[in-house]
Amino acid sequence: MRDFLNMEKRLSKLSGKFLFKKNKNLNNQEGSAIIIALLVMVLLLGFVAFAVSRTSNETITASNDVEETKTFEAGQASLEIMTHNFNKIFDYKLSPSDADLHGTNGVEKKFPTDFTGEYDFEQKIDQTRDAEEVVMTGQQFQGLRALRDEWQIDTTATDKNSGVQVALRRRFFNNLIPIFQFGIFYEDDLEFHPGPKFAFGGRVHSNRHIYMKSGNLLKFTSKVTAAGQILTDVMRNGDSSGTYTDKIKIQNAAGTFVSLNNDMGSALRDTVNGSPVINQADMPVAYRNANWKANEVLFQGNLLAEQAELELPLRKASKLAGNPLDYIEIIKRGKAVGDLLNASNPVTTGTADSVITAQERYYNKTGIRISLADSKAKLPGCASGIGTGATANDCGIRLDGDSSGDGSEPGSGARGYKPRKMGTEYQATTLNGERFYRGSGTETWIKIETVEWNESTNTVKTVDITQDILALGMTEAASAIYDGGYKFAIYDGTTDYYLKNIDQRSIFKLQRFIFGDGVVDSSSAFITDKSWNGKNYNFVVASASVGSVDDGTFGDFSGDNTAHMKAAYIDGFTDAKIVPFPIKMFDAREGIYNDNMNTSSFGSNKVPAAGVLSMVDIDVANLRKFLNGDFDSEMPADTPFFTANARKFKATDIPESNGWVLYISDRRGDKDFDGEYDMEDIYGSTATFGNDGIKQYGEDVNDDGFLQMDYGSGGEAVKYSVGVFKGIAATLEHRYYRRGIRLINGQTLPGIYDTATPANTRGFTAASENGVYTLGNYNATGISSVGEPTTSEEYLPQDQPTHIPASIAADAVTILSNKWTDAGSFKNAFNLNGRVPNETTVRFAMISGDTRSSLIETGEPDQGGTDMQLAGGVHNFKRFLEKWDGIRVNYAGSLINLYNSRNSNAAFKCCVKVYGAPNRNWVFDETFLNPTRLPPGTPYFQTIQLTGFQRVN
C-alpha cells in the first residue's frame, strides 16, 4: 500500500510539469497525450497490484478466522461433553470418585468424537470450593437449604494442522438438597382428609396429585407444589360430598394466610371444562379449572401445580438404564454376587445391583446389618456357603439347631444356639430352639455384620460379627417382681439367676421369659396367667405336645427340652419351671380384614393368624451403651473376629459416617425370597371373609399385574379366616412371613449433638424392609409446652448432647405408646377399649410406605370404619393400634412417603377395633434445615447450576 501511494505522488509531479510545459509550447500536444495515457496505465497497474495484495491478505485472514472458529467449536464441544459426563455422574451418584473424574474412563479422558481426528484436547476438572450451606433460589427449591460445592472445567482445543488453540472455562454449582428438608413429600398421590386440625409445617410436594379437604382447619406455612394437579372438590376415592369454605389456609409470600376453597383447585371433578386432565382407571375424572391462574396468583408462588417431578438418584439412574426402579428398593436387601437372587437362583454379574442401586440402599449404608433367613444360603454373601469375611465359615449361625450354631442338628441335645461367654461371669441365655423350629426344611439363620461403604471405590466392605454381638444376649431380661415380698424370680440352681445381670446387655432380642397383661386362653399348657395387686403376668410354666396346628401355619412342636427350663419362684406355684419363648404381638390392622367384622367365629380364645407377628426387638439403650464402649473389656475371645484379628471386638470396630445406620431384614417364612408378603387379596366381602381372590383396585401394590396369594400349608401367607389359639400365637414361632422390627428403650439414641463443633455430631438411623414399630418415647423425653402444634424447639432434650438427629426408613412405621403390652394385644385383639395408651413423644424423620387408595365403584369392597378404600392420608401415615381418643401423640420430624407397603400391606381401617385417632400434636422438625443435623443415610436430591463461561486465551 505504501509503494502504491509513493507512485501516485510521483505521477502527480510529472503531470504538473507536463501541464506547465503545455502552456509554454502548444505545439507539443500529441506527445502530451501519449504521456497521459502512460500515466493512466501505470496508475491502473498500481491499483491492480494493490487489489491483488489486499485480496491475498484477506484470504489469509479469512482462513485464519475459519480455523479459529472451528477450533472454538471443538473447544465448546469438549466443554459440553465434559459437562454432560459430569452431570451424568450425578444422575446416579452424589459423590464422584477420583476415578470418575481423572481415571482412564473419567470425565477428563472422554473427548468429543466428531473432532478427535483434527484436534487435540487437554481437559481438566477441579473442585474449587468445598461444600457449604446455602439457601436455594429458583421456583422448585426456593428457600430450601442445600449443601453446595463449586466446580471448574477447563479445556484447551488445538488444531493439529495449523496449531490454532482455544482455551475455554466453565464454572458451576453442585447442589445437594436433603429430602428431610421437606416437611411432607409423597411420590404417590398426597391426601389430606376431612378431619381434625392439621398444621404440620415445612415444604410440601407430591410427584403426583394433591387431594385437599378439611372439615376443620388445614394450614400450610410453606410452599405447596404438585407435579400433577391440586384437587379440592373430590377425594382420591371419588367422594365429592361436602363443601369446605375457609377451612384450608396457605400462606402467601407476604406471610398472610389465604383460603383455598372447595372450587379453587387446579382441577375439579364437578366443573366440566374441555377434555379431562385426569382421565384414567382407578382415578376420579377431573377437568382443568378455568379460574386456576387467577386463584394461583392469590398465593404468590406458594401453591403450584404441574411442576417438575423431583427424583432421587435411584430413580434417575434406573430410568437412564431403561428399567425404572420402585423406591421400595431403598429399603430392600441388596443383590450382589454371593447372594441368592430368589429362592433358588444365585445373583450373577448380570442381575447384581448397579453401583447407584447398591449405594442408595440402606442395606449398604455404613453401620450394622442384621439379616435373618430360612437357610444359610439366604444370608448375605452365603449363597455358595463361603462368606465374605475373615474365614470360610463366616456366614452367620443357625439359631434353632445345635448349640454351637454351626448348622448341624442337635441330636439328643436341646435345640438352640448358646451365645459365647463374656468375661468370667456373663453367660447369656441359650435360645429356646424348640419353639423357633418350624419343621423339616425350614431353619432359622442369622448374620450380623459391620458395613462400610467406600465412596472412592463405590464398594461395600462387611465383617461378620454375629457371635460377638449375640454374646450380649438374645433374650429380654426378666427382672424379679417385688410387691410387698417377692412374687417372681428365676433361679439357676440355688442362686438368683439375675444377680449376675444375665441378659441385661442384650441388644438383639428374639425371646422372653415373661410379659404382662394376662392372655385369656383355654390352652393353658401354653400360657399361665398370674395376677398380683391388679397387675397381670404371663409365663410358660409347662410344655406340651401339640403337633401341627391351625392349617399348618405353626411349626411342629413336641415340647420344651429340660435344658431350657429355668427354676423359678412364682408366688402361688410349687417347684415351678419356666422357659423362654418367642417375642410375639398381635397387629389388629394386619389381622382384621374389616373394622366392623363379626369376630364371633374366633371365639374368646383365638385370634386371626394373619395379625400375629414375630418380633425382633432392638434394645436401643443397650446399643448406645455398646457403641459408647461400655462392654469392650468383656467381649468374648473365641469368635471368628477374634481369630482373624488376634483381639477382642470393640465398639470402635463399628464403622460410622456421621453416625450409624442399623439395617434389619427378617425374611423367615418368605418362601420366594423377595421381601414381600404374598397376600395382596386385602379387599373382599363379608361372605368371603375378606379373601375373594379377585384383583381389585388398590390390591396389586407391586404392579406386576397379578394378585399374590400364597396360602395353604407351606405358603408364606395366611387367610384372614384362619384362627389360632392366643396361647400358641403368643409363645410359638409360626411358618408364614409375618415379621416386625421393634425399637424399644429408645428414649435416648446412640450419637451426640456437638454444639461446639457441628461436624462432630453423630446421628442414628434404623432401617428395615419389614414394618418398624416404636415402643414408647423415642428420641425424646417429652415436650416443654403444648401448642397448636408444639414447635419442634419445645421437644426435649433440645440442643443438648442427647438431642440426636434420627430417622426411620421402613415398609411401614407404627407408633406404640408407653403403655402398650404384647400380651394385651392378644387379650384385647377385638376390644379397642382394652388397648388404651398414654401420652407418647417421638422425634424422627421417616421414610415409609402406605397402602394404596382406590376408586369406589360399587360400594364394595369396604375395609370398614371410615374413609372407604382410602389409605388414611397424611393424618394416618404413621400407624396406630390403640384407642388414643383425646390422648396426644407428640411427633416432630419429616414425613416422606416413597412407595406402597409390601409387608404391612393390610388396608387402612378405623375406628372400631383397630385404633382410635390421637390428638395429633405433630410438627416439622426445623433442625433438619441445618445440614449438620441430618440423620446418617439421608437421601439427597441433586441439581447443577451453571454460573460462568469464558474464553481464557
**Largest Cα–Cα distance in the chain?**
165
Of 573, 557, 886, nearest to 727 by C-alpha is 557
Which pLDDT does position 116 carry in this prediction? 81
Average confidence (pLDDT) over 854-860: 79
**All 3 cell numbers of residue 743?**
425399637
**Per-residue confidence at 868, pLDDT binned at 50, 70, 90?**
confident
Helix/strand/coil (H/E/C) assignment for every residue in 44-57: HHHHHHHHHHHHHH
For residue 294, is pLDDT > 60?
yes
Higher pLDDT, 251 or 62: 251
Query: What is the average per-residue pLDDT within 910-923?
Result: 95
pLDDT of 279 over the 90 cut? yes
C-alpha grid cell, residue 486: 417377692
Per-residue pLDDT of 542-563, as tens digits, reads: 654 544 444 567 777 778 898 9
Determine which of 7-16, 419-428, 933-942 has the lowest per-residue pLDDT on average. Answer: 7-16
Nearest to 942 by CA among 317, 367, 302: 317
Whether cis (ω within 30° of 0) applies to the bond prior to 382 is no
659: which strand partners? 763
Is 948's pLDDT higher than 70?
Answer: yes
User: What pTM value is reported for the model?
Assistant: 0.90
Are 225 and 205 spatial neighbours (Cβ–Cβ below 8 Å)? yes
pLDDT tier at 498, thresholds 50, 70, 90: low
- pLDDT at residue number 23: 42
Please name the residues in contact with 243: beta carbons below 8 A apart, sequence gap of 6 or more: 262
Query: Cα 947 vs. chain centroid, distance in angstroms?
Result: 32
In the predicted model, what is the mean pLDDT of residues 713-740?
92
The predicted structure's pLDDT at residue 88: 76
- DSSP three-state, residue 782: strand
pLDDT for 196 equals 85
Judge if the upstream peptide bond of residue 655 is cis by omega within 30 degrees of 0.
no
* Residue 212 in this model has a pLDDT that exceeds 90: yes
| pLDDT for the residue 499 | 57
**pLDDT on residue 86:** 84
Integer Cα distance of 716 and 735 in angstroms: 7
Residue 492 is predicted with a pLDDT of: 66
Rg of the Cα atoms in the chain: 37
Cβ atoms < 10 Å from Cβ of 304: 18
pLDDT digits (tens, 9 = 90+) for 578-602: 999 999 999 999 999 999 888 999 9
pLDDT computed for residue 743 by the predictor: 98
Q: Name the grid cell of 931.
A: 445440614
Q: In percent, how much of the chain has pLDDT > 70?
A: 89
Please tell me the predicted confidence (pLDDT) of residue 11.
37
- Mean pLDDT of all residues in 255-266: 96
Alpha helices in 414-521 (DSSP H): 433-436, 466-470
Who contacts 468 (Cβ-Cβ below 8 Å, separation ≥6)? Answer: 420, 635, 636, 639, 641, 642, 649
At 859, list the grid cell. Answer: 360400594
Q: How many CB atoms lie within 10 A of CB 943?
A: 18
Give the mean model confidence (pLDDT) for residues 895-903: 98
Give the pLDDT band (50/70/90) at residue 932.
Answer: confident
Q: Give residue 17's pLDDT.
A: 40
- For residue 93, the model assigns a pLDDT of 64
Q: Supply angle C-alpha 261, 265, 271, rounded to 5.
A: 100
- Condensed to tens digits (0 to 9), the pLDDT of residues 801-856 reads 999 999 999 999 999 999 999 999 999 999 999 999 999 999 999 999 999 999 98
611-620 pLDDT, tens digit each: 999 999 999 9
CA distances from 464 to 70, 72, 336, 488, 529 (A): 59, 56, 16, 38, 40
Q: What angle do CA 780, 772, 848 make, to 5 degrees?
A: 95
Q: Which three cell numbers stand for residue 360?
A: 442408595
Nearest Cα neighbor of 739 from 535, 310, 436, 318 is 436
**731-744 mean pLDDT:** 96
Residue 378 to residue 391: CA distance in whole angstroms: 18
pLDDT (tens digit per residue) in 358-402? 999 999 999 999 999 999 999 999 997 555 443 445 799 999 999
- The continuous run of DSSP H or E covering 950 comes out as strand 940-951
Higher-scoring residue by pLDDT: 153, 932: 153
Q: Which residue has the higher pLDDT, 172 or 706?
A: 706
Winning range, highest mean pLDDT, from 406-410, 493-497, 710-714: 406-410
Q: Residue 690 has what DSSP assignment?
A: T
**Mean pLDDT confidence for 703-721:** 91
- For the stretch 511-527, pLDDT in tens is 999 998 888 776 656 78
Count other Cβ atoms within 10 Å, centred on residue 794.
Answer: 17
Where does residue 208 rank: exposed (0-12), middle (13-18), buried (19+ CB within 10 A)? middle
Instruction: Compute the distance between CA of residue 800 and CA of residue 179 in angstroms, rounded to an integer.
Output: 24
The C-alpha angle 574, 576, 577, rounded to 5 degrees, equals 165
Identity at 804, one-letter amino acid code: I
Strands 224-226 and 566-570, how do they pair? unpaired
What pLDDT does residue 350 have?
94
| Residue 495, pLDDT above cutoff 80 | no
pLDDT, residue 63, reads: 52
Residues in the chain: 953
Q: What is the pLDDT of residues 98-136, one digit of tens each?
A: 888 998 889 999 998 888 889 999 999 999 999 898 998
Query: Given this model, what pLDDT does residue 14 score?
Result: 37
Instruction: Decide if pLDDT at 52 tops 70.
Output: no
Q: Rounded to an integer, what distance in angstroms lies between the CA atom of residue 741 and that of residue 772?
A: 5
Annotate 166-233 with DSSP letters as a single string. Answer: EEEEEEEEEEEEEGGGEEEEESS-EEE-S-S-B---SEEEESS-EEE--SS-EEE-S-EEESS-EESS
H or E element at residue 764: strand 763-768
pLDDT band at 51 (very low <50, low <70, confident <90, very high): very low
Task: At 44, list the grid cell.
Answer: 491502473
Task: For Cα atoms 146, 151, 153, give the angle at the middle one, nearest 5 degrees.
Answer: 150
Give the up-direction half-sphere exposure of residue 539: CA atoms within 13 A in the CB hemisphere: 23
| pLDDT of 729 strictly over 80 | yes
- Predicted pLDDT at 92: 61
Least trusted range by pLDDT, from 9-23, 82-96, 744-758: 9-23
The answer, yes or no, to whether residue 296 has pLDDT greater than 90, is: yes
